[in-house]
Amino acid sequence: MKRRFLFEQPLSNRERAILVGVSGRGIRKAITEEYLEELTLLADTAGADVIEKVVQDRDRIDPAYFIGKGKVEEIARLVEENEIALVIFDDDLSSVQARNLEQAIGCKILDRSGLILDIFASRAKTNEAKTQVELAQLQYLLPRLTRQWTHLSKQYGGIGTKGPGEKQLETDRRIIRNRIRYLKERLSHIDQERQTQHKGRRDLTRIALIGYTNVGKSTLLNLLADADVFVEDRLFATLDATTRLVTLSRAQKVLITDTVGFIRKLPHHLVASFKSTLSEVTEANMLLHVADVSSSQFEEQVEVVNTTLGELQSRDKPTIMVFNKIDKATDRTFLKELEHRYENAISISATRGINVSGLKEKILSLLEKDLTERTLVVKQSDYRVIAFLHDVAEVLEKTYLDNRVRIRFRINDKELRRVHTLIQKRQIPAVTDS
């Protein structure tokens, strides 16, 4: 049965929308206008055409309407004159504010978190993503629940769900809490399955592609792995973590995972719900932080990602800064300056394949910091050990001595432990330093 999302709208039926932002409170009007540009992209991704943008400068948020009463009346006139179906606020609204605005303006009211949840609902493809999105939606709805949501009793109700004399609103809240509990248990089972799948990957170095949404992570993964990951020039084109095997050199293969993009003001419930997907970041050996240098806001986007990494306790992982889309940058003179300012940085264009070989060398260079040179002498008939060394290490030299062969190789610590385990089982003398 196809899962129904609470916010899901068909993308073919595009709605006319007005965007609303509030400056002041330490936020300059120019910054608010930049935020509305991003909100425009989010609205377009969700299936809305932005007709007007409204900015109000206020030092204090109105507890009843978020914006001033005069601005509410102005928006109401714009809605009537332009046949607007939707007004989207760039900040989160309380249930009281949303209800008051809807009554005063006379159309559907949505805040930034609700809009992002709508996009995630339309983009979720796998069972895991759909479960994560539904959980986030219900957690978002619960504190905003009013009588308009009484239809939920039909969707999730059943025998034993209604108490004697219980009000309908209380019943709906209890139904949602039960559904949230069920979804959390389901995600816990999915996470356990993921951990089981990861056991087979522990022998390979794992790298996570991270970055702001729509910076080109999926395009880069396609290029590195010669893969066919879905790519679209829209925010949150992909939600599910996609992992591909990438060959960096003859002796070095890694697993690279494309993760969901980050964004400013990312709803807390989404971060919590996508914990199992974001575990790809926390469990990675290395991060490739992709940034779009053609964006005027790229440094702020980098900081948004770093802040989220801090929340995931992953900011100290070995990281390569990948400045992407240099073919679209209007001023390239600052690229060298950026590469000096950020540690382990490199500039590329994933779309045009510019300097991708340099990125591979940069990854290898960072990995090789953990490489050591070792020598092992085995019988020539011990094909299994010799073949294993060729698989997990870079063989530098082989010298044949009577019925034995001396192998000099470079290897990282993780693989070296596997070699030691194998030679102990076969009672071969220990690996020696070169």
Which CATH number is 263's domain given?
3.40.50.300
Residues 276 and 130 in one domain: no
Mean pLDDT of the region 4-30? 75
Among 38-42, 251-255, 294-298, the minimum mean pLDDT is found in 251-255
**Inter-CA distances, 396 with 13, 363, 407, Å:** 62, 20, 8
Residues 210 and 340 in one domain: yes
The answer to the question of residue 6 being in a domain is: no
Partners of 264 in the β-ladder: none
Estimate to the nearest angstrom the gap between the alpha carbon of 367 and the chain centroid. 24
User: Which contiguous run of DSSP H or E holds residue 331?
Assistant: none
Residues 167 and 241 in one domain: no
Residues 234 and 170 in one domain: no
Q: Which of 176, 199, 222 is the last residue of a domain?
A: 199
The answer to the question of residue 4 being in a domain is: no
Residues 132 and 175 in one domain: yes
Among 3-12, 117-126, 266-275, the minimum mean pLDDT is found in 3-12
Burial of 79 (0-12, 13-18, 19+ CB in 10 A): buried
Q: Which of 199, 228, 260 is the last residue of a domain?
A: 199
Residues 169 and 265 in one domain: no
Q: Which residue has the tokens 């940069």?
A: 362
The answer to the question of residue 232 being in a domain is: yes
Burial of 165 (0-12, 13-18, 19+ CB in 10 A): exposed
- State whether residue 199 is helix, strand or coil: helix
* Statement: residue 353 has pLDDT above 80: yes
Residues 394 and 260 in one domain: no
Estimate to the nearest angstrom the gap between the alpha carbon of 175 and the chain centroid. 30
Q: Band the pLDDT of 252: cuts 50, 70, 90.
A: confident
pLDDT at residue 313, as a whole number:
83
Q: Which of 151, 166, 199 is the last residue of a domain?
A: 199
Which CATH number is 386's domain given?
3.30.70.80
pTM above 0.75, yes or no: no
Residues 110 and 211 in one domain: no
**How many domains are there within the chain?**
4
CB atoms within 10 A of CB 187: 19
Residues 231 and 318 in one domain: yes
Q: Name the residue range of residue 137's domain.
A: 124-199
